[in-house]
Structure 1
Amino acid sequence: MTTASLTAAPLPRWREGAWAGIPAIRVIHGFAAAMHAAFIFFACFAFSDASPYDLIALPTMLLWLALGVRLHRGAVPLVFLLALYLSAIVVALLPYVSEPLPLTWTIQLGYLVITAVFFAMLYADDTQGRLDLALKAYTASCVLSAGLGIVGYLQLLGIEDLFSRYGRASGTFQDPNVFGSYLILGTLTLTHGLLTGRGRHPVLALACLLVILAGTLLSFSRGSWGATLVSTGLMVGFVFVTSRSRAMRRRIVLLGLVTASLGAAALVGLLSIDSVAKTFESRATVTQDYDEGETGRFGNQIRGMSMLLDEPLGMGPLRWRQIFGLEPHNSYIGSFANGGWLGGAVFIALVAATSFVGFRLMARASPYRPYAQIVFPALLMFFVQAMQIDVEKWRHVYMMLGMVWALEAARLRWESRGRDHDAVPRATHAAAAGDGRDGNGYAGASHPHGRAATGESRSP
C-alpha cells in the first residue's frame, strides 16, 4: 500500500462525528469539575452520618489526585497541625480502641482531616476558577436547604417532620443549629456579589439571599443569628476599607441600606406569624434551661475542666458524653477531652494560625483577597461558635479550612512569581475599563505587594 493510499483511507468510525475534535483529557477534566461541584453541593445533605457527600468524596478525591493536584508549601502548616491533632486523638483512643463508637468517631475524624487536606490541594491551583465553581455549588445547596427548611417549618406540604426539628427549621440537616450555621457562607457569597457587582443576575441573587436569611431566622439558632450578622459586617467592612473606588464605596453603602431594609421587612413579616413570634421570643434569650445548673451545659464544663487537669492524655473520644450524659458543647474543651493536653493545644494553635492567615488574606492586596473576604469570615464564626457548640465533625468547617489555606498557598506562589497568571484571564468589566483595579474595584491586585502597573504602592 502506497503513502497516497494511506492518506486517502477513511477515518475509523470512533474518530468521526462531534467527538472527533475533543481531546480525552478535556472530557476527563469536565467530568472531574462536575464531580467537584456535586461534592460541594451534597454537603447540605446531613440527614444521617452517611450522606451523598460521603459517597462521592472518595471517587472525587481519587480522580483529582490522578489528574495531578499537589500540596504546595503554603498549606503545609495546615497538614502538620491536622496530622498532629489526629495523632493526639489516636493516642487517647488506644485504651478504648475495642469500643465501636470511639473507634468509628476517630475514623470519621480522620476522613474529615483528609478532605481538608484535599481541598487545600485542589484550590491552590486554578484558584479562582475552582473557587468560583465551589462557591456557586455551595450557595445553590444553601438555597435548596433553606427553601426546604421554610417549607417544613410553615407546614406547606405536610412533610414538616422531615425538614424541621423541635419546632424550628432544620432544612436538610438533623440539627437546626448546624443548618443555620451552614447557611452563613451562602449569605456571604451572595452579599459580596451584590456589593461588588460581580453577579450577572442581581435580582435573582437578592431573591436567593432573602430565602437563605429567612431560613437562618427560622432555624431559631442564636449562634447562627449572631454569626450571620457579625460575619456579614466583617466582610462588608473589609470590602469597604480595601476598596479604592469611591463609586464602589457608595455602592456598598447604598446596597447595604437596601438589603438591611428588605431584611427588616422580611423579619417583620415573619414575626407577624404567631408561631414564629412565640418561638423567637423563647429563643432570643442568653441562656436556656439546659444551660444552667450544676448538671447543665455550663456546670458540666466547669466540672470537666477541673477533671482534665489530671488527664494529660485526655478522657478519650466520646468519653465526656459517657461521664456527663451530654456532649461538651465546646470544641475547645472537647479537644482537650478527646485528645489530651496535646490535642487541645494543637486545636487552639490551628485556630490561631488560620485566623492570622485569614485576616492577612483579607487585608493584603492579591487576586485572592475577594475570596478570602467571603470564606474566612464564615470560618471565623465557626471558630467563635466552637465555644458553645461542637463543630469538630462539621463537614463544611473542614472544607473552609482547606479553602483558606489554599488561598494562602496561591497567594505565596503569586507573590513569588512577581506577576499574576491566575487573574489575568478572569479580568472583569472594571479591569477591562482600564481603571487600574481588579474586578471588584480593588486597586493594585495585578502585581504582588499591591503595586499597580504604574508602580504606585496601593497596599491597604
Structure 2
Amino acid sequence: MPSTAAALPLRAGAWAEIPVLAAFRGLAKVMLAAFIFFACFAFSETSPYDVIALPTMALWLALGVRLHRGVMPLVGLLLLYLVAIGTSLMPYLAEPFPVTWTIQLVYLVLTSIMFAMIFSDDTESRMELALKAYTVSCVFSAFLGLIGYLQILGIEDLFYKYDRASGTFQDPNVFGSFLTLGALYLMHRLLTGTTRRPVMAFVALLIILAGIFLSFSRGSWGGTVVATGVMILSVYRTSASARLRRRIVALSLVTLAIGIVAVIGLLSIDQVHKMFEARASVTQDYDEGETGRFGNQLRGMALLLEMPFGMGPMHWRLIFKLEPHNSYIGSFANGGWLGGATFIVLVLATAFIGFRLMSRDTPFRAHAQIVWPALMMFFLQAVQIDIEKWRHVYMMLGMVWGLEAARLHWLSRRGHSAEDGNEHLTPY
C-alpha cells in the first residue's frame, strides 16, 4: 500500500523544529530582554529602548503574535484616547512640539499593545524573562545611582541630580518609581521561596531599596510601601499553606526591621538627614500659592469645564508655565472631555482586571501579584505627577492585559477540555 505520509500537511508545531526559525525565536527572546532592560536608560528623550523597539516589534510580528479578545478592550481604549488627543491637536498642527509629543504618544501606545500581544501566549515563560530583564535593569540603575550619590568615581553628575540619586534617569522621581517593580519581583520570590539564590536576591533587593530611598521621591516612597503591602497581602491571602503564611509573616517582619535599621543608618549621614527633612514635608514651595502646582490645577479645572476639546496637547504649560503634575487633569487638558474620560475608564478597567488576576487561582496569579501592584502605584502617583510619557508604564499596562488575555484563553481551554471529557462519559 503506498505511503500517505508525504501527503499529510506539516504540523504547525513542526515549524518550530526548523533550525533557522528556532534561531529567530531565540533571537526574538534576546531582543525582548534587551528591549526591556534598556527601559532604564532615560538620560534623554531618545534612549536605546527606542532604538531597539522597532526591530524587536517587527521580529515578533514576523514570527507571529496574536491579538486575543482579552486584549481588545485595551486596544479600543488606547485608540479612543489617541482619537481624542488627535482631535484636540487639530488647531495646533503648525506647532512642532505638540505634534512631536503626539507622535511619541502613538509610539508608546503601540508598544503597550505589542507587549500585551507578546505576553498573551507562552505567558509564564515570557513574563519570567521580562521580569528578570527588568529587575537586572533596576539593579544596574540603582547601583549607578548609589555611586553617583556617594560621589566615589568622579562621574556623579551623570547619576546624581538635585542632591538626589537619579541613576540612569533625568528625573530622580522617575528613577525611584521605576525601581519598584524590580523590588516587588525580588520580594515575591524571597517570600514564596522560589528564588534559587536567596542571598544574591536579598543583596539585589537592598541595592534597589537604597536607590528608592536616596531618590528622595515622596511618590516613590509612598508608592513602594503601598505596592509592597498589596502584594504581601495578596500572597498571604491566596496561600493555602500555613507554613508559607508563617514564612511570609516572618520574612516581612525581618525585612521591615532591616529596612528600619538601614534608614536610621542612612539618616545618621548629615547630607542624607538634611535632604530627608526637606523632602519629607507634605508640600514643597512649588506646590503652594495661587501660581503653585495646586493653585494651577484648581484654575485649570475651572477652565477645562468650558473646553470640551481641552487646551490641546502640551498647551497647559503655555498657559500656566508649569506641567499639570496630574495625569488625570492632563488627560482632560491634552485630549478634552473624551480624552479625560477615556483615561479614567482605562485606569478603572485595568484596576478591575488587575485585582481579579491577583485573586483568582490561575497559573498567572503569581506574576499578577508582582506587576499589578507596581502599575497600581503609577496610577496612584498620577495624581501628583505626569506619567503619560513614562515608557515602563506602557510596558506594565501591556503586561497586565497580556496576563488577562492568557487567563481568558486558559479558562476557554479548560472549558473545552471538560466538555471533551464529558462526551466520553457513558451514562448508567
TM over 0.5: yes
For residues 412 and 42 of structure 1, what CA distance do their matches in structure 2 show? 31
Which residue pairs with 2:8 in the alignment? none
**Preserved contact between residue 75 and residue 405 of structure 1 (Cα < 8 Å):** yes
Is the alpha carbon distance of 1:419 and 1:187 closer, same or farther for their aligned partners in structure 2, counting shifts above 3 Å? farther
Q: What's the CA shift string for 1:117-167, capped at 9, x where partnerless?
A: 000000000000000000000000000000000110111111111101100
Which residue pairs with 2:258 in the alignment? 262
Q: 1:143 aligns with which of 135, 139, 151?
A: 139
For residues 31 and 265 of structure 2, what CA distance do their matches in structure 1 show? 39
**Preserved contact between residue 414 and residue 420 of structure 1 (Cα < 8 Å):** no
1:33 maps to 2:29: yes
In the TM superposition, residue 22 of structure 1 has moved relative to its aligned partner by 7.2
Unaligned runs of 5+ in 2: 1-16, 419-428
Q: 1:322 aligns with which of 311, 315, 318?
A: 318
The one-letter code sitting in structure 2 at the alignment partner of 1:270 is L
Q: What's the CA shift string for 1:69-93, capped at 9, x where partnerless?
A: 0110001000000000011000000
For residues 260 and 312 of structure 1, what CA distance do their matches in structure 2 show? 48
1:154 maps to 2:147: no
In the TM superposition, residue 301 of structure 1 has moved relative to its aligned partner by 0.2
RMSD: 1.3
Which residue pairs with 2:7 in the alignment? none
The one-letter code sitting in structure 2 at the alignment partner of 1:26 is A
- Structure with more relative contact order (C-alpha pairs < 8 Å, separation 6 or more): 2
Which residue pairs with 2:90 in the alignment? 94
For residues 91 and 299 of structure 2, what CA distance do their matches in structure 1 show? 23
In the TM superposition, residue 327 of structure 1 has moved relative to its aligned partner by 0.2
The one-letter code sitting in structure 2 at the alignment partner of 1:211 is I
In the TM superposition, residue 419 of structure 1 has moved relative to its aligned partner by 7.2
**For 1:333-412, what aligned pairs fall within 5 Å after superposition?**
333-412=329-408
Which structure 1 residue ranges, 4+ long, deviate > 2 Å from structure 2?
none
For residues 97 and 314 of structure 1, what CA distance do their matches in structure 2 show? 15
1:48 maps to 2:48: no
DSSP 3-state at the match of 1:418: helix
Q: 1:60 aligns with which of 56, 62, 67?
A: 56
Which residue pairs with 1:193 in the alignment? 189
The one-letter code sitting in structure 2 at the alignment partner of 1:318 is M
For residues 219 and 350 of structure 1, what CA distance do their matches in structure 2 show? 29
In the TM superposition, residue 269 of structure 1 has moved relative to its aligned partner by 1.6
**Preserved contact between residue 152 and residue 164 of structure 1 (Cα < 8 Å):** yes
Which residue pairs with 1:131 in the alignment? 127
Which residue pairs with 2:227 in the alignment? 231
The one-letter code sitting in structure 2 at the alignment partner of 1:28 is F
Q: What's the CA shift string for 1:46-78, capped at 9, x where partnerless?
A: 000000000000000000000000110001000
**For 1:284-303, what aligned pairs fall within 5 Å after superposition?**
284-303=280-299
In the TM superposition, residue 262 of structure 1 has moved relative to its aligned partner by 1.6
For residues 262 and 285 of structure 1, what CA distance do their matches in structure 2 show? 24
**Preserved contact between residue 331 and residue 390 of structure 1 (Cα < 8 Å):** yes
For residues 273 and 416 of structure 2, what CA distance do their matches in structure 1 show? 52
The one-letter code sitting in structure 1 at the alignment partner of 2:311 is M
- Larger helix share, 1 or 2: 2
User: Which deviates more, 257-266 or 109-118?
Assistant: 257-266
Give me the identity figure in percent. Answer: 69
Which residue pairs with 2:421 in the alignment? none
DSSP 3-state at the match of 2:229: helix
For residues 358 and 375 of structure 1, what CA distance do their matches in structure 2 show? 9
Which residue pairs with 2:303 in the alignment? 307
DSSP 3-state at the match of 2:34: helix
For residues 23 and 51 of structure 1, what CA distance do their matches in structure 2 show? 33
TM-score scaled by length of structure 1: 0.86
The one-letter code sitting in structure 1 at the alignment partner of 2:191 is L
The one-letter code sitting in structure 1 at the alignment partner of 2:285 is D
The one-letter code sitting in structure 1 at the alignment partner of 2:185 is T
In the TM superposition, residue 258 of structure 1 has moved relative to its aligned partner by 1.5
The one-letter code sitting in structure 1 at the alignment partner of 2:198 is P
DSSP 3-state at the match of 2:307: coil
1:212 maps to 2:208: yes
For residues 62 and 420 of structure 1, what CA distance do their matches in structure 2 show? 33
Which residue pairs with 1:110 in the alignment? 106
In the TM superposition, residue 270 of structure 1 has moved relative to its aligned partner by 1.1
1:167 maps to 2:163: yes
For residues 258 and 203 of structure 1, what CA distance do their matches in structure 2 show? 14
**For 1:411-450, what aligned pairs fall within 5 Å after superposition?**
411-418=407-414
